[in-house]
Chain A
């Protein structure tokens, strides 16, 4: 439809240019006087365009009104960090829910994003849903998004932030509102696999992974240093949208994170036996 409209507009412009050219050609012999010329410039060059633009502006302004989000809407704090996304859902009247590197949204509802950064400039960009918004250390920028159609959208950091800037991506999953509500309630509770005693859970703690990655109920410290992995098994990808959420990819990432993301804060666990890395990876995949 858009292409058709543009074709028609192009045709109209072409025709009017040709018309004016023909008209000017015919008038060349009986040259217009100074007064007529000045009047033509005034009407065609100033008054005409002013009226036209004013009409366009008045019709367009109401459409550009920012989407409102109030205290009863979902708020999501997103913090851009080298090179991943810290996500905290703040549903009205419910407990806050920590997540990372994937954002889920309810279709049709406005959502307020509070965007910040603890280290350097990042920019939060979901091209399919909204414009870019900078994440600036020391301040919080607000962005309201109302996604209308369920589906998967790609997001990325749009401000150069370091060596792995191009590897700082995320996925946005827009869900039907009711499905989203059910999903968020599940996210607020520890994953069943994280509650069961298992070898892999003990390995995860003994290697010190829990020192940086919170997995309820084993979280150490007030605030997770790296991405929260409490429900990482349900995410579409790992390492901020860079690797598939598969056992081999996770095990490889644990042993050599810098091979995937140069400059990453996570140290290499290259001394970890492959079997242990695989066991931890399989356990993480089970945390839905």
Chain B
């Protein structure tokens, strides 16, 4: 007996499979219950697909630096507020609630052996579909992702005390909903310090003595996402507008540390600050910044951390289009600063 397979039969088989699958899906007999977990084979298959995807997508899209370990406090602080609920941390098991998810998020102990640095960058930057792992909310802030990569690769080896010191500082607390200044401050202090000086971290600005109008507008911009930052947006959404105003006044009233006079005189930076470079369409920094009794909310730069200023100028040059309106203006100007003068200008301001 021979089987004569004709086109008619083939189409019939395919149609039966499609219609059958649709009926199965419609019937609701496939359970999406997280309580039952996966079959072993589906679990293996889904993870196999995921690992293959991470490997290939990383090879295709991740390029350049993927880790930055020069400052870990902000990454640790963000991790404590946003990631521990699923992943846990040294001395802090994940929430029992999230342990009951399918799949439960992996503990990060030993994660550095399972994934390469570049793969971690890809996972943190893009998230993983169907697992609950979110993408980095601020797509343009790969600098934040790089610091988180550095933190995540180290957190597995940290002692609970080490972790707490990074993520909470001495007096820090995470506020679930900051409704008053008193509940918000210990949360802010985890990264910004009780004195508003940013715990010596290069990526955290000195808030002490900053213009209160600037602080309030920056918080609002972080909150709305107009100024992209996953770390600050997550923190700012816990703060209601009235508390934001109080926080701005609080930090503005703190004493700004006196700038450490620079060993060198930085004549070019001084010229750019007070006169600009007209031939490059670069106005003087001082025409907007640190004007006494100014009516505008432009930030004060004198006494700010040099590394922070330089990093922000680089960030503005690269990502002006996605900044808040006033930062978009600064981005236009920042692109006219000669590359080799950025560090010097930052150091000049830090020394004042």
Q: Is B166 an interface residue (CB 8 A)?
A: no
Q: Are A268 and B283 in contact (CB under 8 A)?
A: no
A-B contact pairs, 13 of them (CB 8 A): A202-B295, A206-B291, A208-B288, A212-B281, A220-B286, A220-B287, A221-B275, A221-B284, A222-B275, A222-B278, A225-B278, A225-B281, A225-B282
Q: Given known contacts A208-B298, A211-B288, A267-B328, what 13 new A-B pairs fall within 8 Å (CB)?
A: A206-B295, A208-B283, A211-B283, A212-B283, A221-B276, A221-B283, A221-B284, A225-B282, A265-B281, A267-B329, A267-B332, A268-B328, A268-B329
> What is the bound-complex CA distance between A95 and B234, given in angstroms?
59
> What is the bound-complex CA distance between A221 and B287, given in angstroms?
10
Question: Number of B interface residues, CB 8 Å?
Answer: 23
A residues 216-274 in Cβ contact with B at 8 Å? 220-225, 265, 267-271
A-contact 0/1 string along B292-318, CB 8 Å cutoff:
001110100000000000000000000
Residues of A within 8 A of B286 (CB): 220
Q: Is B231 an interface residue (CB 8 A)?
A: no
Residues of B within 8 A of A207 (CB): 288, 296
Q: Are B276 and A203 in contact (CB under 8 A)?
A: no
Residues of B within 8 A of A225 (CB): 276, 278, 281-283
Find A271's partner among B281, B283, B326, B332 (CB 8 Å cutoff): B326
5 closest residue pairs by CB, A with B: A211-B287, A211-B283, A208-B288, A267-B332, A271-B325
Q: Is B113 an interface residue (CB 8 A)?
A: no
Q: Are A268 and B325 in contact (CB under 8 A)?
A: yes
Residues of A within 8 A of B282 (CB): 225
Q: How far is the CB of B317 from chain A (nearest CB, A)?
A: 14
Q: Are A118 and B295 in contact (CB under 8 A)?
A: no
> What is the bound-complex CA distance between A30 and B284, given in angstroms?
91
> What is the bound-complex CA distance between A202 and B292, given in angstroms?
11
A residues 105-140 in Cβ contact with B at 8 Å? 118
Q: Is B63 an interface residue (CB 8 A)?
A: no
Q: Is A142 an interface residue (CB 8 A)?
A: no
> What is the bound-complex CA distance between A268 and B275, given in angstroms?
22
B residues 319-348 in Cβ contact with A at 8 Å? 324-326, 328-329, 332-333
Find A118's partner among B279, B283, B324, B325 (CB 8 Å cutoff): B279
A-contact 0/1 string along B22-61, CB 8 Å cutoff:
0000000000000000000000000000000000000000
Q: Is A215 an interface residue (CB 8 A)?
A: no
Residues of B within 8 A of A205 (CB): 287, 291
Find A210's partner among B278, B287, B295 (CB 8 Å cutoff): B287
Closest to A221 in B: B275
Q: How far is the CB of B296 from chain A (nearest CB, A)?
A: 5
Q: Are B294 and A270 in contact (CB under 8 A)?
A: no
> What is the bound-complex CA distance between A224 and B278, given in angstroms?
7
Q: Are A208 and B287 in contact (CB under 8 A)?
A: yes
> What is the bound-complex CA distance between A235 and B333, given in angstroms?
28
Residues of A within 8 A of B288 (CB): 207-208, 211
Residues of A within 8 A of B328 (CB): 267-268
Interface centre among B279, B283, B284, B332 (most CB of A within 10 A): B283
Residues of B within 8 A of A210 (CB): 287
Q: How far is the CB of A40 from chain B (nearest CB, A)?
A: 67
Closest to B286 in A: A220
Q: How far is the CB of A244 from chain B (nearest CB, A)?
A: 26
> What is the bound-complex CA distance between A11 and B324, given in angstroms?
72
Residues of B within 8 A of A208 (CB): 283, 287-288, 296, 298
Knowing A207-B296, A267-B329, A268-B325, the reply to whether A220 touches B284 (Cβ < 8 A) is: yes
Q: How far is the CB of A206 from chain B (nearest CB, A)?
A: 4
> What is the bound-complex CA distance between A251 and B288, given in angstroms?
19
> What is the bound-complex CA distance between A205 and B288, given in angstroms?
8
Residues of B within 8 A of A269 (CB): 329
Closest to A276 in B: B295
